[in-house]
């Protein structure tokens, strides 16, 4: 069996280090906002090159709290992509605001910046790009639009830890960056976890209160906040994995290159954004006969997945926004054609070859 991600092999590699870190967190007996959270926040901020990093309970919460911290409220509109995980747009709705979907580029799979301007109006307050599958969005163009219309930019970096754009880490480009450490992410912990990054003192201060019941001093509450803290045990695990993230991301890039070498031009690949490095959280291609490929892989005990089969504007949950089929044709096309193959730092050349040959045999 070749799985999408391989935590068993990860444990063979760094399991001893992880278990030692978990043990030390437990022995500290400070489980909520304990020493490992502070340590990981400092290490992550240093790695990403930003002033602040705030640990929160999940990537979804990172987005929600970041949007709140930049001032998104009832009646506002936030521009985002329909070709992403639902949490991106859920976070906008949690703030009482309305997600406005802009179609994506067929090659990079990211928001098509040329289509953003026509969607900006008096209610628009922010742009929320996603660095999908680890491939950075066109941030310079997004920042230029944001500047022109006085909008905030929040990056969804749930799939892009360690990816760079023009030499800068994703999450250190907009007003805030939101990371998820869900176990399957390219930097994942062993439960739920998330992080918000920012270089802005005010946003940082607000985040510190929002994640902890609106409080800076215990039992004194400045605003209504949330219970959304990164767990100390998870933070201890993340400190271990952060030490290896460059190696992990490089291995992913190597696997992606091998896939391309073995499959040639029988499928279309996600284009790496110019002057950026994709960390390949997922390896996703556009392919004919997707269902047949999946069936064939499955009968060879090879996992595959479709990220994502329904674009957000056509999800039942967003029915009240009144989008219809045909409104965002590129996202709809990709939803019908994409397939993701196993990718993780431990996938062996021989396994990539077997997968590629199975795909080739179908096409
Ligand atoms: C995983 C993910 C999230 C949500 O993260 P959780 O930690 O699962 O809450 C948000 N956006 C994107 C693009 C994701 O892939």
pLDDT at 69: 98
Q: Which residues of the chain have pLDDT under 50?
A: none
CB-based contacts of 58, cutoff 8 Å, min separation 6:
180, 182, 192, 193, 194, 228
Alpha-helix runs per DSSP H in 104-231: 139-149, 201-210
Q: How far is the CA of 184 from the centre of ligand 1 (A)?
A: 10
Q: Rg of the chain over CA atoms, in angstroms?
A: 20
**In the chain, where the domains are located:** 7-102+109-242, 245-362
DSSP code, position 267: S
Report the Cα 135 to chain-centroid distance in Å.
10
Q: Which residues of 158-169 are buried (b: 16+ CB within 10 A; e: fewer)?
A: bbbbbbbbeebb
145-202 pLDDT, tens digit each: 999 999 999 999 999 999 999 999 999 999 999 999 999 999 999 999 999 999 999 9
CATH code assigned to 245-362: 3.90.1150.10
In the numeric block, which tokens belong to residue 238? 């993340």
Pocket of ligand 1 (CB under 6 A): 58-60, 84-85, 87-88, 130, 156, 158-159, 180, 182, 192, 194
CATH topology of domain 7-102+109-242: 3.40.640
Task: Quote the CA–CA distance of 46 and 171 in Å, as a whole number.
Answer: 12
The two domains 7-102+109-242 and 245-362 share their CATH topology (first three levels equal): no
| For the CA of 132, the nearest atom of ligand 1 | 13
CA 315, CA 311: separation in Å to the nearest integer?
7
Question: DSSP strand E in 224-362: where?
Answer: 268-269, 276-277, 283-286, 338-341
């Amino acid at each position: 069996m070749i799985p999408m991600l391989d935590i068993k092999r990860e444990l063979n590699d760094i399991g001893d280090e992880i278990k030692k870190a978990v043990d030390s967190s437990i022995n500290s007996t400070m489980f909520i906002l304990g020493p490992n959270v502070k340590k990981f926040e400092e290490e992550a901020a240093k790695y990403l090159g930003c002033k602040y990093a705030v640990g929160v309970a999940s990537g979804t919460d990172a987005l929600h709290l970041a949007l709140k911290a930049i001032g998104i409220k009832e009646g506002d509109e936030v521009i985002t992509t329909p070709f992403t995980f639902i949490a991106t747009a859920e976070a906008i709705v949690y703030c009482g605001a309305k997600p406005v979907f802009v179609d994506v580029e067929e090659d990079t799979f990211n928001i098509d910046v040329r289509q953003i301007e026509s969607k900006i109006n008096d209610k628009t307050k922010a742009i929320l790009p996603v660095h999908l599958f680890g491939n950075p969005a066109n941030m310079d163009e997004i920042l230029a639009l944001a500047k022109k219309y006085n909008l905030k930019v929040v990056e969804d970096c749930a799939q892009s830890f360690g990816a760079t754009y023009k030499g800068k880490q994703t999450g250190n480009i907009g007003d805030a960056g939101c990371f998820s450490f869900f176990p399957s992410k390219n930097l994942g912990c062993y439960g739920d976890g998330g992080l918000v990054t920012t270089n802005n003192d005010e946003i940082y201060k607000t985040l510190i209160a929002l994640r902890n019941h609106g409080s800076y001093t215990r039992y004194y509450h400045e605003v209504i906040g949330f219970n959304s803290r990164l767990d100390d045990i998870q933070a201890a695990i993340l400190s271990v994995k952060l030490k290896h993230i460059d190696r992990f991301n490089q291995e992913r890039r190597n696997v992606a290159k091998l896939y391309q070498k073995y499959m040639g031009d029988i499928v279309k690949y996600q284009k790496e954004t110019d002057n950026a490095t994709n960390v390949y959280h997922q390896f996703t291609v556009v392919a004919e006969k997707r269902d047949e490929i999946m069936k064939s892989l499955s009968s060879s005990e090879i996992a595959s997945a479709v990220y994502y089969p329904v674009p957000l504007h056509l999800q039942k949950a967003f029915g009240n926004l009144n989008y219809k089929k045909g409104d965002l044709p590129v996202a709809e096309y990709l939803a019908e054609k994409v397939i993701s193959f196993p990718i993780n730092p431990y996938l062996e050349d021989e396994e990539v070859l077997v997968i590629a040959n199975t795909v080739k045999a179908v096409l």
